[in-house]
Chain A
């Protein structure tokens, strides 16, 4: 496939993924409302919010890094998505996966948060550094089980290539890493709870406590840009989990269903749990998921 059609297909797939992220956000708000016995906003409410945020006026900026924070965030999401093969065996949906391996993907996953931390720090509001310090400490904590799980998969497959890891899982549901290496998978899926920042790990934003944490000074166009970056990142991250643990997808429909299932795992957990404090969540991640990750790594090295 030549470069032009490759870029074209990647843009198309990115556009669809972005919209799927927005629809999922709408469904999440609806589902949370139904769980709480409310009707909730319409499913297309994220689109209305996006439009409204874009049409409000920005009132202030705090400097260059303040501008760049949401951009870095979006770059993390877009960069991750560009490296992600979405549907197995369909080179049109492989994006630029041959140009980067798992290490680069994991770098992109953390790049956005770090950029956002720098940008929000320039906002100068006292709540921003509080949220940032909580977010970064929680991030370092959930990194450990996630990286242990990824290293276990890499040791098992002897490859950093996502397509190779996907190929190793073919041949039936029981070949998925979710069943082939359950300990690592459980560790990674618990780490996903921390990444998606729903309860019990939503200390970073901590609504009603430190108003919205790092984003306190951000408004309107910044927020609308962040919404775009966040939904791209959410989908890209979920596709990574699908490829690593659920054997990838063979059709777009399968991808849509698996992404929905993986994402709503964190939403449903978030709907029923209370919020951990920062030190509780750090301790939690360094205890059970990390132990499971070490056990999963030992298991995959032993086999």
Chain B
């Protein structure tokens, strides 16, 4: 569980310059100080802005759309979440079939380097703010794939992870607990992993290119 609280939210020079593809118009650019979750508007810092940020974060936390992308065996534990026994829709959590409409990415278990490329593509296409939930021990230290040649071992090197849920496999109850933790973090304005990703895009890219040998992605996947 990481806390990527930015030190100087007002310092816009730290952001990498990301150019959109020709003919497209990005609206959320990385150099937008209001991108921060909890720290947003700290620049101006009147109480009203803080209250607005709190309300926004509450709305974001109460309506999570999970991208339907099962990377590994852990995806089998996501199905029961939607069924009558566990029913994640009680918490406002629904599935979203396309990255454009989702804001939570569950890396469900082991992640092959081949899948990592698609995961990066999907993750960058998701609109900000977005969160990553890493499921299972494979995402933490490789798990039972610790000596595998084609899976990544530590997910945090390639994507910013907001919540880790350990286990092999974690039960749906553990997932609900993880979601509830994520919701608390979002409400408190501490789930800023996506912002950390934008800030340190070069570092993440370097790591990604080390394992993805046939790199053919653009600078940033709008």
Residue from B28, B63, B125 in contact with A52 in the complex, judged by beta carbons closer than 8 Å:
B63
Q: In the complex, which residues of chain B have a beta carbon less than 8 angstroms from the beta carbon of A48?
A: 59, 62-63, 92
Of A33, A56, A61, A218, which contacts B103 at CB under 8 A? A56
CB-based contact B100/A216 at 8 Å? yes
User: Which residues of the partner chain B approach A56 to less than 8 Å between Cβ atoms?
Assistant: 60, 103, 127-129
For residue A39, CB closer than 8 A to chain B, the reply is: yes
The verdict on B3 contacting chain A, using a C-beta distance below 8 Å, is no
In the complex with contacts A45-B92, A62-B24, A55-B59 CB distance below 8 A: yes
B35 to chain A, nearest CB (A): 8
A170 at the interface (CB under 8 A from B): no
Q: Which of A143-151, A172-180, A205-213, A282-290 contacts the other chain?
A: A205-213
- Is B222 on the interface with A (CB-CB < 8 A)? yes
Alpha-carbon gap, A211 to B87, bound state (A): 21
Query: Interface size class for chain B?
Result: 20 to 34
State in angstroms the CA–CA spacing of A57 and B130 once bound together: 10
SS of A interface (majority): loop
Within 8 Å by CB of A58, from B20, B27, B87, B92, lies: B27
CB distance from B104 to the nearest CB of A (A): 12
Instruction: Say whether B25 faces chain A, with CB atoms less than 8 Å apart.
Output: yes
Q: Contacts A57-B27, A223-B101 known; A51 to B59 CB distance under 8 Å?
A: yes
Give the residue name and chain of the B residue nearest to A123 (CB): B100
Give the contacting residue for B87; candidates A33, A217, A223; CB below 8 A. Answer: A33
| Cα of A33 to Cα of B89 in the assembled complex, Å | 9
The answer to whether A57 touches B59, judged by C-beta atoms less than 8 angstroms apart, is no
A71–B169 Cα distance when bound, in Å, is 45
Is there an interface contact between A57 and B87, defined as CB atoms closer than 8 Å? no
Chain B contacts for A51, CB-based, 8 A: 59, 63
**Is A19 an interface residue, CB under 8 A from the partner?**
no
Binding site for A on B (CB under 8 A): 20, 23-28, 35, 56, 59-60, 62-63, 68, 83-84, 87, 89-90, 92, 94, 97-98, 100-101, 103, 125-129, 222
Q: Contact residues of A with B, CB < 8 Å?
A: 29, 33, 36-42, 45, 48-49, 51-53, 55-63, 207-208, 211-212, 215-220, 223
